[in-house]
Amino acid sequence: MIPQIRMEEVAVRELAGLCEFQTFDEQVAELGDTSDETLMERMKFKAGMDLFHGS
C-alpha cells in the first residue's frame, strides 16, 4: 500500500524552520478578514488554471 499525503503536509515538514507556511485553506479563510487587494489577486491566481498553464 502506498501512503497518501497532501502536498501541504510535505510543505509543512520540509519548510519547518525555514519560512512561515500557510495552507491554501488558511489563506482563503484570511480573505474574509481583509481588504488586501494583493492577497485577493494572489488567491484568484492560485485558484485558476493560469497557475498551471501560464498567462
Q: Tens place of pLDDT for every residue, the chain, 55 residues?
A: 888 988 888 988 898 889 888 887 888 888 778 788 888 888 788 777 776 676 5
Contact 39, 30 (CB under 8 A): yes
pLDDT, position 55: 54
d(Cα 50, Cα 37) in Å, to the nearest integer?
18
State the CB neighbour count (10 A cutoff) for residue 36: 12
pLDDT, position 18: 92
Phi, psi for 21 (deg, rounded to 5): -120, 135
